[in-house]
Structure 1
Amino acid sequence: MSEHTDEITRALVQAADAARYAPSIHNTQPWRWVVRAGRLELFGVVERQLREQDPSGRMLLLSCGTALHHAQVALSAEGWRHEVRRPAGEPLATVRPIEREAVHPEATRHFQMLQVRRTDRRTVTDDQIPEETLRHLIKATEEGGAWLHVLRRDQVIELAAAVDQSQQAQDTDERISQERAEWVGGDRPEGTGIPASALPEEVPLTTVAERDFQSRGTLPAGAGHDQAATYAVLYGTGDDAVDWLRGGEALSRLWLAATEQAVSLLPLSGPVEIPSTRQTLRGMLAGTGYPFLAVRLGTLDPAHSAPPKTPRLPAGQVIEVHSEAGRIAHGGAEDAETGEAKP
């Protein structure tokens, strides 16, 4: 194996390793990476799909999209210019490094944000997000291939009603409730799901309710009612599988940009999972797009430390290596299992 091939293979394995830290619905991590000669392939894993809550697989695709963007961030942080292809089928995407170039400082910052990003379900402060910051987040979303519609006050009330409606619909579905209980609460030693340490002790009394997992955690909910929070709908112009994958990439780009600006982002996917409330969200867009999910944006309390990291599957369970690069890939996988993503 040539030195150049060796270098590319190592970069691809490390990119797949970094992608393990991407956010996913209920922390299901429904992705699998295959490293082949000169390329990285992304596959969805139906065994980790929420079959009852997400029968269409939209949230699975959105989750895989966040992982795809994380992998690209890792490659860019190593100075690899790359191309991404998203065929309509399996693999969901293929990433190919093209050539090595000077590392841009922005790429390094993005990778740093990848490592510190969290899903924080606590309430946010009473400080409004500055307009300049909000414009920056909107631009980051658009650069990621999607759009962010900031809701007016009357639309926030409409979103609150949609969230309540979707919560009630899922709470009364016994199959969804059973599935949710399999993924939420406890210590999660198997490496997936949402542990009690990432859940608030009680659901905060906010204008737009957070998802009630019917499982209490150990994280203090925080004071306040999110009166200063900004709510928005992340959306795209299409509703096909590739559109949802691109939506996940845009969500990851938005989330990393928000983290860099000390802005908390909380995804609200419940209204999108129920057809009637998803139509409500689409009405907020005046029928011009298809909603991927709603998000809450708010200012972090500097006195609060970040919530604990949620667990991740070992690298060996999500990264496969084909070709003579097995020795190098095995070394990268061992690095991954230390729990630290590496550029």
Structure 2
Amino acid sequence: MIFEEHAMVAIHYADRGAAARSGPVSRSLTQATFAALNAPSVLDTQPWRWRITEHRIGLHADWARQLADLDPDGRLLLISCGAALHHARVALAADGVGVDVVRFPDPGDPSLLSELRYTGPADPAPGIGSLHRAIAVRRSDQRPFADRPVPDGELTLLRNAAEQTGAAARTVHRDATYVVITAPVAAAASDWLTAGEALSAVLLTATAAGLATSPVTDLTAFTPREAEGGFPAAAVRVGVADRFGPPRQAGPPAGPTASAPGNQESP
């Protein structure tokens, strides 16, 4: 996926009163939606909307931003929304805000993908601060990586990060090292949303570990065996940054894309 520039965050406040918006919990919820602006999304469409009450955020798919030619089934849109959801969760956890995450809470409103319901203060989990800091600094690195293998322990860390979101992941070694996130062959909307959360988790965990990353656009290159019998939903090229290579060009983060040859800057 190709990411270019950030759109303005789409937020609707259900509580009209200024007091509700300025409360400490509401402020934390709002800040989490701004953190989600850094999430990878297909062609940087950021195809989501947030609805905020005093103690709750609703994440809605914005189907008006669906790219019908590139993403006719909405798969990339849902992966993008999942990445935004994970970014928001990381921001809230780092801020000491506890939430229950309820996915697809209203059968009558399929565009409501998730609600984050405030449960009270919560001690930040170990390592959450590093993930939160990674949100602001993560970039897709298209340069050749250093000719050094990624340590097995760090690859295990990346797979675990994906699996903690509920997705399956495995490491594939070819010309480079990849973390491939899979969905069931008969995937539902919830599976694509989870794949997006896993994509975010892998990218942030790798960035926090000092690794270079680049989302992969050509998912057809991965076989069913490499995808553990599932459907390749997303993949990330992972490596050690070459400190002696050309400087990385400043630019927006990258994220998920449709199948296309090669690796490109993308959502």
Give the shorter-chain TM-score range.
0.7 to 0.9
Inter-partner Cα distance in structure 2 for 1:105 and 1:286:
30
- Percent identity among equivalent residues? 36
Inter-partner Cα distance in structure 2 for 1:45 and 1:3:
25
**Is the counterpart of residue 137 in structure 1 residue 158 in structure 2?**
yes
AA aligned to 1:295 is V
**Is the counterpart of residue 260 in structure 1 residue 208 in structure 2?**
yes
SS of 2:237's partner is strand
SS of 2:156's partner is helix
Inter-partner Cα distance in structure 2 for 1:305 and 1:77:
31
Match of 1:298 among 230, 239, 264: 239
**Is the counterpart of residue 281 in structure 1 residue 223 in structure 2?**
yes
Inter-partner Cα distance in structure 2 for 1:111 and 1:10:
17
Where structure 2 has 5 or more consecutive residues not aligned to the other structure, the ranges are 1-16, 255-267
**Is the counterpart of residue 307 in structure 1 residue 249 in structure 2?**
yes
SS of 1:281's partner is coil
Given that residues 118 and 306 in structure 1 are in contact (C-alpha distance below 8 angstroms), is that contact kept between their aligned partners in structure 2?
no
What does 1:1-343 correspond to in 2, within 5 Å?
6-87=23-104, 89-152=110-173, 156=174, 227=175, 229-237=176-184, 239-271=187-219, 277=220, 281-287=223-229, 289-303=230-244, 305-310=247-252
Inter-partner Cα distance in structure 2 for 1:147 and 1:244:
12
Using a 3 Å threshold, how does the CA distance of structure 1 residues 285 and 107 change in structure 2: closer, same or farther? Answer: closer
AA aligned to 1:111 is H
More strand, by proportion: 2
Given that residues 84 and 94 in structure 1 are in contact (C-alpha distance below 8 angstroms), is that contact kept between their aligned partners in structure 2?
yes
Using a 3 Å threshold, how does the CA distance of structure 1 residues 147 and 308 change in structure 2: closer, same or farther? Answer: same
* Aligned residue in 2 for 1:210: none
AA aligned to 1:24 is S
Given that residues 118 and 307 in structure 1 are in contact (C-alpha distance below 8 angstroms), is that contact kept between their aligned partners in structure 2?
no
Comparing 302-311 with 73-82, which one deviates more in the overlay?
302-311
Report how far residue 14 of structure 1 moved: 0.6
SS of 1:282's partner is coil
Using a 3 Å threshold, how does the CA distance of structure 1 residues 121 and 50 change in structure 2: closer, same or farther? Answer: farther
The structure with the larger Rg is: 1
Given that residues 26 and 55 in structure 2 are in contact (C-alpha distance below 8 angstroms), is that contact kept between their aligned partners in structure 1?
yes
SS of 1:60's partner is helix
SS of 1:242's partner is helix
Inter-partner Cα distance in structure 2 for 1:142 and 1:281:
20
AA aligned to 1:113 is A
Report how far residue 286 of structure 1 moved: 4.9
Report how far residue 107 of structure 1 moved: 1.8
Instruction: Please give the TM-score of this superposition, normalised by the length of structure 1.
Output: 0.62
Given that residues 93 and 122 in structure 2 are in contact (C-alpha distance below 8 angstroms), is that contact kept between their aligned partners in structure 1?
no
Moved >6 Å (runs of 4+): 1-5
Given that residues 244 and 292 in structure 1 are in contact (C-alpha distance below 8 angstroms), is that contact kept between their aligned partners in structure 2?
yes
Report how far residue 285 of structure 1 moved: 3.1
Using a 3 Å threshold, how does the CA distance of structure 1 residues 149 and 43 change in structure 2: closer, same or farther? Answer: same
Given that residues 32 and 44 in structure 1 are in contact (C-alpha distance below 8 angstroms), is that contact kept between their aligned partners in structure 2?
yes
Q: Deviations over 1:290-339 (max 9, x none)?
A: 22023211111234655323289xxxxxxxxxxxxxxxxxxxxxxxxxxx
AA aligned to 1:58 is R
AA aligned to 2:236 is V
Where structure 1 has 5 or more consecutive residues not aligned to the other structure, the ranges are 157-226, 272-276, 313-343
Inter-partner Cα distance in structure 1 for 2:97 and 2:159:
26
Given that residues 5 and 38 in structure 1 are in contact (C-alpha distance below 8 angstroms), is that contact kept between their aligned partners in structure 2?
no
Report the number of matched residues.
231
Inter-partner Cα distance in structure 1 for 2:20 and 2:63:
36
More helix, by proportion: 1
Using a 3 Å threshold, how does the CA distance of structure 1 residues 47 and 120 change in structure 2: closer, same or farther? Answer: farther
